[in-house]
Amino acid sequence: MTRFVPIVALVAFASCLAGGSSALATNDEVLSFGYNNLDGSFNSSSSLFTASDDSGSSGQVLRIVPVTGDANFLGTAGDAGFPGLAAFDLSLNLTDITSTSANSTGTITFTDINGDSLTGDVTGLWNEFVGGITAGTFQGEITNFVSVDISGDNTFDGNTGSGFSTLFDAGFPFSGAVLSLEFGNWFTDGGGVPTDFSNATTSATGVVVPEPATLALLGLGSLAFAAKRRKK
């Protein structure tokens, strides 16, 4: 089985599409995902952070090589989220919460319009970023990443795009997918006390990459994150 390893790099998804594709071309299977304008919420009593799609959300999951395909999702006005059975769901339990960092474990699930899903376990670290704006950023690993094919069609389909096959030579589960999150808030008040919030605009990006492309993406992701911050 192909070994999948973690890539700890923010905005790695964007860097793959912008200039990292040549680094991926020699590898067998690659999935990338990016979801924007998700609804992020934090319950301080349970220390639970959640993010889900709403009417303003958008998302894309790509199978880059060797059989390319894309599944695109877009929320519409008047709907609670993505059309059909499509959804994005993230649930993270936070521990060791301070005014600048927190640990997290939980689950992530992308669901297509037919109810089929890609899902895995998440472990990682939150950090507060202060630089013109205050933002929470998360870098973590997705393990036990599997496809749940309820419809039996062995594809992952968006409300637009070609869709793609979920049959991979390496086979599920994959371990080593990376997840990066960003939202314009933090989990504590000025005194370091955990505080509830909701409707925090959240983005989620990530990649599933067999080595040896990991080192190349690590550098690209770091550069993309720095460039993004300079533009804000």
For residue 93, the model assigns a pLDDT of 97
10-19 residue pLDDT tens: 232 222 333 3
- The 10 Å Cβ neighbour count of residue 120 is 22
Instruction: Name residue, tokens 């393990």.
Output: 143
Residue 216 and residue 199: Cα distance in Å, rounded?
35
**Closest to 148 in 3D by CA, of 117, 109, 114:** 117
The SS3 of residue 142 is strand
Cα 49 to the chain's mean position, in Å?
14
Bridge partner residues of 100 (DSSP): none
pLDDT digits (tens, 9 = 90+) for 76-89: 766 678 988 999 99
Per-residue pLDDT of the chain (232 residues; tens, 9 = 90+): 333 332 222 232 222 333 333 333 334 457 899 999 999 999 999 999 999 999 899 999 999 877 789 999 998 766 678 988 999 999 999 999 998 999 999 999 999 999 999 999 999 999 987 766 678 899 998 888 889 999 999 999 999 999 999 988 777 777 667 788 888 789 998 778 899 999 999 999 998 765 444 434 444 443 333 334 444 4
Closest by alpha carbon to 115, among 143, 92, 83?
83
Given this model, what pLDDT does residue 49 score?
A: 96
Residue type, position 55, single letter? S
Tell me the three state secondary structure of residue 36: strand
CA-to-CA dists, residue 150 to 114, 136, 154, angstroms? 8, 34, 9
pLDDT of residue 158: 95
What phi-psi label fits residue 44: left (phi over 0), alpha (psi between -120 and 50 degrees) or beta? Answer: alpha
66: preceding bond cis by omega (within 30 degrees):
yes
CA distance 188 to 151: 42
**pLDDT for position 167:** 87
Q: What is the mean pLDDT of the chain?
A: 77
What pLDDT is recorded for position 131?
A: 66
Distance CA 221, CA 227 (A): 10
Residue 183 to residue 51: CA distance in whole angstroms? 10
Contacts of 25 (CB under 8 A, 6+ apart): 65
Distance of CA 193 to CAs 45, 100, 187, 189, Å?
11, 12, 8, 5
Check if the beta carbon of residue 74 is closer than 8 Å to that of residue 88.
Answer: no
